[in-house]
């Protein structure tokens, strides 16, 4: 049929009417409420084996539309019992990925609007709320006036942005024009306690693992400023190009922190860019009594912390603060004609501050979260977590056959069996298979240890002490 469009008939059920959308939205809200109310009754980690879920899913996609009732029934049958429940109040593994109920509600609204927030003109409210929420958090953490920032998806992206800025600043921005061939090797400095995202940032930025220099630590596992200074000067003498320093506050393994002020003093003397990775522990800085741990942070160039870890904002939500964004914008901004906003050159486009172009409306959950709980409510949670962690540490210290390996830092400590690594690994497997709580491991000075980190948004002292009871009950089995 020339010049005409053939009318297509859609199979029944292909179009979801808004009335049906409303019905299922209410049904899912009811399911969500019940899920959160009954989390304590579920094992934290499922007994699922690899490929169980894969084998429960059809190999080929459906040709015809499926009724929503059948889809939802399959969800209930397949998914919840095969999930590790990160919002479980006895989740004490890794670091938390908290989702306070107020934050969840905000995400439901964001999903409904489904905006692509790459530019001011594509999302004025999202852009301007991001500006305000970052400043609210700047104030909450006690950072000086004038600092600005951007909401990233994760600390990995923020650290990569910072490493790219270090690289380009050291190369006078030649790297983004002509690449790294023929240039001196940029060098990045960090301690061994720094997160693996720093290593990966060096890979992705073209710097390479060999040019990430891990600096020796002192007795408290913070970076040694004297060793840092010596390494920088040795690299200059060898013809390398020192570019920047990543400073650790609250490392993943045992919660170690570098001496921030002393490291920044070295950086300033050597003319190097500094980035503080406080992905987990940064949330604790809303408590003024804890800020001594990152004393001198206001002298850094870049800081990242994740409200989606300890503060309660649903994943993903990572805030990168910048003392002066000029260098990062110069390193990352790319504005083709089709992304210009004619007549609004002063508008902020946060995609120019980050590596991805596409952006979600992440500021709304911060707005809901901070208003729903208030800074003092959030401080109380963090203070409780730290107090309960210390109490749990002392209780485990008193258990026969166990010993504390690293003392509490913020709300994280580690312990092990006195019988050695094999016994410790066996105990961890029994704990996690039991299902009442969930812990993870690390290696510290070559030793296999179990981490216990208190931080789930709605956990109670009773939840923490139940984890201790489970450890005590299972330590003598086998």
Tell me: pLDDT of 77 over 90. Answer: yes
The proportion of the chain whose per-residue pLDDT surpasses 70, expressed as a percent, equals 94
Give the residue from 97, 24, 68 showing the smallest Cα distance to 308.
97
Statement to judge: residues 292 and 392 lie in one domain: no
Looking at residue 7, what is its pLDDT? 55
**How many residues are present in the chain?**
478
Q: Is residue 190 part of a domain?
A: yes
412-417 and 447-453 as β-strands: parallel, antiparallel, unpaired?
Answer: antiparallel
User: What confidence tier does 1 reach under pLDDT thresholds 50, 70, 90?
Assistant: very low
Tell me: pLDDT of 2 over 90. Answer: no
Which has more pLDDT, 117 or 380?
Answer: 380
C-alpha 474/C-alpha 105 separation (Å) is 39
C-alpha 323/C-alpha 264 separation (Å) is 13
C-alpha 75/C-alpha 85 separation (Å) is 15
Q: Is residue 88 part of a domain?
A: no
Statement to judge: residues 353 and 443 lie in one domain: no
Whichever domain contains 36, its CATH number is 1.20.1340.10
Q: Is residue 394 part of a domain?
A: yes
Statement to judge: residues 285 and 383 lie in one domain: no
On the question of a cis peptide bond just before residue 435, with omega within 30 degrees of 0, the verdict is: no
Whichever domain contains 387, its CATH number is 3.90.1150.170
The proportion of the chain whose per-residue pLDDT surpasses 90, expressed as a percent, equals 70
C-alpha 213/C-alpha 126 separation (Å) is 39
Q: What are phi and psi of 4, to 5 degrees?
A: -130, 155
Statement to judge: residues 276 and 353 lie in one domain: yes
- Torsional sign, CA 422, 424, 426, 429: negative
Tell me: pLDDT of 10 over 80. Answer: no
What integer is the mean pLDDT of 467-471? 96
Domain count, the chain: 3
- Per-residue pLDDT tens digits for 137-151: 999 999 999 999 999
Statement to judge: residues 300 and 407 lie in one domain: no
Whichever domain contains 237, its CATH number is 3.40.640.10
Tell me: pLDDT of 117 over 60. Answer: yes
Q: Is residue 168 part of a domain?
A: yes
Statement to judge: residues 412 and 332 lie in one domain: no
Which has more pLDDT, 319 or 343?
Answer: 319
- Per-residue pLDDT tens digits for 318-340: 999 999 999 988 888 876 544 55
What integer is the mean pLDDT of 272-288? 96
Statement to judge: residues 213 and 186 lie in one domain: yes
Give the residue from 120, 157, 151 showing the smallest Cα distance to 339.
120
User: What confidence tier does 344 reach under pLDDT thresholds 50, 70, 90?
Assistant: low
Statement to judge: residues 232 and 126 lie in one domain: yes
- Per-residue pLDDT tens digits for 364-395: 999 999 999 999 999 999 999 999 999 999 99
Looking at residue 112, what is its pLDDT? 85
- Per-residue pLDDT tens digits for 442-463: 999 999 999 999 999 999 999 9
Tell me: pLDDT of 300 over 90. Answer: yes
Q: Is residue 238 part of a domain?
A: yes
- End residue of a domain, out of 320, 341, 360: 360
Q: Is residue 102 part of a domain?
A: no
- Are 300 and 277 in contact, with CB atoms under 8 Å apart? no
Which residues are 302's β-sheet partners? 275, 322
Q: Is residue 335 part of a domain?
A: yes
| Cα angle 48, 154, 292; round to 5 | 110
Statement to judge: residues 203 and 334 lie in one domain: yes
Statement to judge: residues 211 and 291 lie in one domain: yes
Looking at residue 369, what is its pLDDT? 96
Statement to judge: residues 125 and 156 lie in one domain: yes
Q: Is residue 10 part of a domain?
A: no
Statement to judge: residues 340 and 420 lie in one domain: no
What integer is the mean pLDDT of 158-164? 93
- End residue of a domain, out of 300, 326, 360: 360
Q: Which domain holds residue 30?
A: 18-42+46-83
C-alpha 91/C-alpha 267 separation (Å) is 38
- Per-residue pLDDT tens digits for 36-69: 999 999 999 998 899 999 999 999 999 888 889 9
Tell me: pLDDT of 315 over 50. Answer: yes
- End residue of a domain, out of 295, 325, 360: 360
């Amino acid at each position: 049929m020339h010049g005409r469009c053939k009318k297509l008939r859609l199979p029944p059920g292909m179009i979801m009417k808004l009335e049906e959308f409303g019905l299922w939205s209410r049904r899912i809200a009811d399911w969500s409420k019940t899920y959160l109310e009954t989390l304590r009754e579920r094992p934290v980690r499922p007994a699922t084996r690899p490929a169980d879920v894969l084998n429960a899913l059809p190999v080929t996609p459906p040709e015809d539309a499926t009724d929503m009732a059948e889809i939802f029934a399959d969800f209930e049958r397949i998914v919840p019992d095969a999930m590790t429940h990160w919002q479980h109040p006895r989740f004490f593994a890794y670091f938390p990925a908290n989702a306070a109920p107020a934050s969840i509600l905000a995400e439901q609204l964001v999903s409904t609007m489904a905006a692509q927030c790459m530019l001011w003109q594509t999302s004025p409210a999202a852009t301007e709320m991001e500006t305000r929420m970052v400043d609210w958090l700047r104030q909450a953490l006690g950072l000086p006036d004038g600092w600005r920032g951007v909401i990233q998806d994760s600390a990995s992206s923020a650290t990569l942005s910072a490493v790219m800025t270090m690289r380009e600043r050291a190369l006078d921005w030649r790297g983004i024009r002509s690449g790294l061939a023929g240039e001196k090797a940029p060098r990045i400095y960090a301690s061994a306690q720094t997160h693996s995202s720093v290593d990966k940032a060096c890979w992705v930025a073209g710097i390479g693992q060999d040019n990430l220099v891990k600096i020796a630590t002192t007795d408290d596992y913070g970076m040694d400023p004297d060793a840092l200074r010596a390494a920088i000067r040795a690299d200059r003498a060898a013809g390398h190009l020192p570019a920047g320093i990543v400073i650790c506050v609250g490392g993943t393994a045992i919660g170690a922190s570098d001496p921030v002020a002393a490291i920044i003093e070295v950086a300033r003397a050597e003319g190097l860019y500094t980035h503080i990775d406080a992905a987990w522990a940064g949330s604790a800085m809303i408590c003024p009594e804890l800020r001594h741990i990152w004393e001198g942070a206001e002298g850094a160039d870049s800081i990242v912390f994740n409200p989606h870890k300890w503060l309660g904002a649903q994943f993903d939500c990572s805030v990168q603060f910048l003392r002066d964004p000029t260098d990062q914008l110069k390193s990352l901004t790319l504005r083709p004609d089709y992304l210009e906003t004619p007549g609004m050159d002063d508008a902020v486009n946060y995609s120019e501050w980050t590596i991805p172009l596409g952006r979600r409306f992440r500021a709304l959950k911060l707005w809901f979260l901070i208003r729903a709980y208030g800074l003092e409510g959030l401080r109380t949670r963090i203070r409780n977590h730290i107090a309960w962690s210390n109490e749990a540490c002392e209780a485990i210290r008193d258990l026969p056959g166990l010993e504390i390996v690293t003392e509490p830092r913020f709300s994280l400590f580690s312990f092990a069996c006195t019988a050695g690594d094999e016994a410790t690994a066996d105990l961890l497997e029994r704990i996690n298979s039991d299902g009442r709580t969930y812990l993870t491991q690390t290696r510290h000075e070559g030793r296999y240890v179990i981490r216990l980190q208190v931080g789930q948004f709605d956990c109670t002292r009773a939840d923490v002490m139940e984890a201790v009871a489970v450890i005590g009950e299972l330590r003598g089995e086998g």
